[in-house]
Structure 1
Amino acid sequence: MHRPAPAQAVRRHFAERLAASGFQADAAQSFALGQLAEWLEELLGGRRSWLRRPVTGLYLWGGVGRGKSFVMDCFFQAAPLAAKRRVHFHAFLQELQVRLLDHTGQPDPLARVAGELAGEVRLLCFDEFHVHDIGDAILLGRLLEALLKAQVGVVITSNYAPAALCPNPLHHERFKPFIRVLERHLRVVELDGGVDYRSRGGRDWGQYHWPETPHSLQDWRRELGLAVPPEPLAVNRLSLAPLGQDARSLWLDFAALFPVPSSTRDYLWLCARFERIAISGLPCLDRHSLDVQQRFLNFVDIAYDAGIELLLSSETSLEKLCRERVHEDFARTRSRLAQLRPRVLADF
C-alpha cells in the first residue's frame, strides 16, 4: 500500500480535521502548517532544501487563541513516526526533575537525561512554552540545546517570540544565550491571524460562578454534594483542609492553595487525583502579589491540560478578575477561563 509523503500526510490530516470541525483555516494557520509539513519531510529524509540553512525544528508563536495548539495537534497526529512525544510545559518540568534525581551523584546529570530523551524520541513537541522562573529557564535552555545538537526534532508553540521569553528584566540577560540557541536551530514562524478562535465557542470544561455570597455558597454546597472530610488532605508537603471531597471531586478555598507556597508539583498531583475541582473565594487577583497570581495561572494551565472539570466561584466577573496589576501571562489564562460557562449565582 502506497503511503503518502510526510508533508502530504500532514496537509491531508489538517484538511480532514478542518472539515470535521466546520472551520476554515486562515492564512496564518495554513502558512504555519505548511512550514511544519515541509520541515517534517526534511527531518525524515524525504528532501532537503539547499537554499536555506538546515534547522532542527520550528518555533510557532502568536497571541492567545490563534490556533497554535490546533495546528500542533494536526501536525503531531499526522507525523508518520512512532518515536514522538507531545509534552505540556509543567508536566515536562516535573518529569525532568524526577529524571535528574535518578542521576544524582553522577557527572553532568542533565547531559545524561538529554541522552536518554534523544534515544527515546525523534520528535519532541512543546505546547504553550513559557518560562518565568530563572531556574526553570536555565534548566530547559540547557536541555533544549543538548537535544537540538543531538538532532532531535523540536517543535514549540508559545505566546512569546523567542526574544521575549523569560521577560523578567532581572533574569532576561542570563537567558539570552539560550534564546540565541533557539533562534539559530529553530525556524521561527509567527502565527497571528488576529482572531481569538477560543472565543468562537471552543471547549467547555467547567463553570465560572459569580458573584459569590454566603447564601450562594450554601446553594453551591448542596449542588456539589460534597461532605467535609474528617482529615486534612496531604499533597506532597502541603496539608490542605478541603471544604468538600469525595472519590472524584475536591472543593478548596482559594486562600488554602494559592497564597501559601504551593507548586506546580502539587497542582499536577491534584489534577491526576481528582476529575473535578471546585475553587471558591476567588478574589480580584490584583489584590495579590505576582507570585500568588503566577500560582493561580499555573494551576489553570495544568487543569486545562489535564482535562479536568474546573468550577470557580468568585466575588467578581471574569472581566474584572485582574484589572490593574495584570500578570504578563494573564491573557492566556483569561482566554482559557472564558471557555468556562458563566453562571450568575444570584439566579439560584
Structure 2
Amino acid sequence: MPSIEHLTERAPKVSVDELLRGFYPSPRFGDVSFDSYRPDPQQPSQSAAVVKLREFATSVDEPRPSGLRKLFGGGKQDPTRAGIYLDGGFGVGKTHLLASLWHASSGQKAFGTFVEYTNLVGALTFRKTVDALSTYSLVCIDEFELDDPGDTVLMSRLMRELADAGVKLAATSNTLPGSLGDGRFAAEDFQREIQVLADQFEVVRIDGEDYRHRGLPEAPEPLDEASLRERIATYPAGVVAEDDFAELVQHLASVHPSRYRQLLDGVDAVAWHDVKTITEQSVALRFVVLADRLYDRDVPIMASGTTFDHLFTDEMMSGGYLKKYYRAVSRLTALARQGSDVAR
C-alpha cells in the first residue's frame, strides 16, 4: 500500500544554500560523460562538439587570471568569450553534453535550466544571485530561451557580470544567441541586450533530427475516477501525492517556482483528479516549471480528466511560448505512460 500525501499541503521553506545545492544535473543525467555520448556517424558536428567541450572543460579547471595576467589576458580561451553555446534541435544530445561538461569540471559549479536561474534571481534578488554565482568556476544553463523583455535584460546583466568575475559559462538552446526572443516580443527593441548575450559565447552547432518534426506524442487515455482511485490504492509501496488538479494549480501560485524541486521531495508518483485545460498564460507557464521538475525526477503520473495534449489551449500551443508548451506536453505524456505501466 502506498503512503498518500498531498502537494497542496506542502509549503517548502528553502534556505539560500539549499537552493544553490539544487543546481546539479537531474538523475537522468546523473552519471553521463563525454564517453557515454554516442555521436551519429551521419552528423560529424556531434563528434566535433565533444572535442570542443573537452577542450572547454580543461579551460574551466585552469586558475583564474590575476594581476597583470588578468589585465593583459591569459589562458587558452579567447578572453572575449566567457562561454560555449550548444545550438541544435530537440533530441540531439545537448543536455547530455552539457551535463558531461559539468561532471568533467572540478571546483564549485552550477547546472540548471534557464527558468531555474530566472527563478533563483526572483527568490534571492539579482545582486545576491550574482554574489553567490561569482564564486563558481562554471555555470551551466540548459534550455536557454528568452521569452520576454524582462528576462532579456536580466540574463544579459547576469551573464555579463558573471563573465567579468571570471566564471565560465555553458548553455544549450535550439535558438542561436543572436536570435533569442524572436517571435516572442519586439526583439529589435532589445537588440543591444541580446547582442551582449551573444558576445559571451562561442557557438557550437550540433546537427541531427529535430524531435519537433515528429509531432506531439500520442497521449494515453485518461482514467475515469473509479479507475484512478483503484490505481492509487494498488500502487506499489511508496509516496503517492494525490491532488485535485484545480486545487494543485491554485496552490502552485503560493509556492515560488524555485522551490518546486523541494515540493516534490520524497514523492514516488503523483495522481491528479479531473485534469482540465489551463487557459491563463501565467498559470500555464508556472505549470511548465512543475512539469520539468517532475520529468527531472522521473515521477510517474496517474490522472483523470483531459489528456495532456489538451492541457494548454490551441492559442498557447501556436504562440510565442510554443517550445515551452511542446516540451511540457511531451514530458507529461511520457510520465503518464510510466504511471499507466507501473500501476498495472
TM-score (norm 1): 0.67
Deviation at 1:72, TM superposition (A): 1.1
| CA deviation map 1:98-128 (0-9, x unaligned) | 443xxxxxxxx62x6424422x211111122
Of the two structures, which has the highest relative contact order with CA contacts closer than 8 Å and spacing of 6 or more? 2
Q: How many residues align?
A: 287
Cα distance in 2 for partners of 1:195, 1:173 equals 27
What amino acid sits opposite 1:122 in the alignment?
Answer: S
Structure 1 residue 130 corresponds to structure 2 residue 158:
no
In structure 1, which of residues 48, 58, 63 is the aligned counterpart of residue 84 of structure 2?
58
The alignment yields a C-alpha RMSD, in angstroms, of 3.7
Runs of 4+ in 1 over 6 A off after TM superposition: none
Percent identity at matched positions?
25
Cα distance in 2 for partners of 1:282, 1:299 equals 15
Q: Structure 2: where are the runs of 5+ without partners?
A: 1-31, 64-73
| CA deviation map 1:123-173 (0-9, x unaligned) | 111122234354444333211111112221000112333244345644645
User: Which residue number in structure 1 is paired with residue 10 of structure 2?
Assistant: none
Do 1:210 and 1:315's aligned partners in 2 also have CA atoms closer than 8 Å?
Answer: no
User: Which residue number in structure 2 is paired with residue 337 of structure 1?
Assistant: 332
User: Which residue number in structure 1 is paired with residue 11 of structure 2?
Assistant: none
Deviation at 1:40, TM superposition (A): 3.6
User: Which residue number in structure 1 is paired with residue 9 of structure 2?
Assistant: none
User: Which residue number in structure 2 is paired with residue 238 of structure 1?
Assistant: none
Do 1:209 and 1:314's aligned partners in 2 also have CA atoms closer than 8 Å?
Answer: no
Cα distance in 1 for partners of 2:189, 2:240 equals 42
Structure 1 residue 85 corresponds to structure 2 residue 92:
no
Alignment of 1:1-348 (within 5 A): 13-15=33-35, 17-18=36-37, 26-42=43-59, 44=62, 48=76, 54-79=80-105, 81-100=106-125, 110=127, 113-118=129-134, 120-167=135-182, 169-170=184-185, 172-173=187-188, 175-194=190-209, 196=211, 210-224=221-235, 248-258=239-249, 262=253, 263-265=256-258, 267-272=260-265, 274-284=267-277, 288-305=279-296, 307=297, 309-319=299-309, 324-325=314-315, 326=317, 327-328=321-322, 329-340=324-335, 342=337
In the superposition, relative to structure 1, how do residues 124 and 225 fare at CA in structure 2: closer, same or farther (>3 Å)?
Answer: closer
Cα distance in 2 for partners of 1:320, 1:57 equals 38
Q: Structure 1: where are the runs of 5+ without partners?
A: 1-11, 101-108, 200-207, 227-246
Any idea what SS the aligned residue of 2:234 has?
helix
Deviation at 1:13, TM superposition (A): 4.8
Cα distance in 2 for partners of 1:269, 1:331 equals 24
Cα distance in 1 for partners of 2:262, 2:188 equals 33
Do 1:281 and 1:315's aligned partners in 2 also have CA atoms closer than 8 Å?
Answer: yes
Any idea what SS the aligned residue of 1:188 has?
strand
What amino acid sits opposite 2:34 in the alignment?
Answer: F
What amino acid sits opposite 1:252 in the alignment?
Answer: D
Deviation at 1:294, TM superposition (A): 1.6
| CA deviation map 1:2-39 (0-9, x unaligned) | xxxxxxxxxx9522x247xxx85743322222222233
Cα distance in 2 for partners of 1:90, 1:124 equals 14
TM-score (norm 2): 0.68
Cα distance in 1 for partners of 2:304, 2:145 equals 27
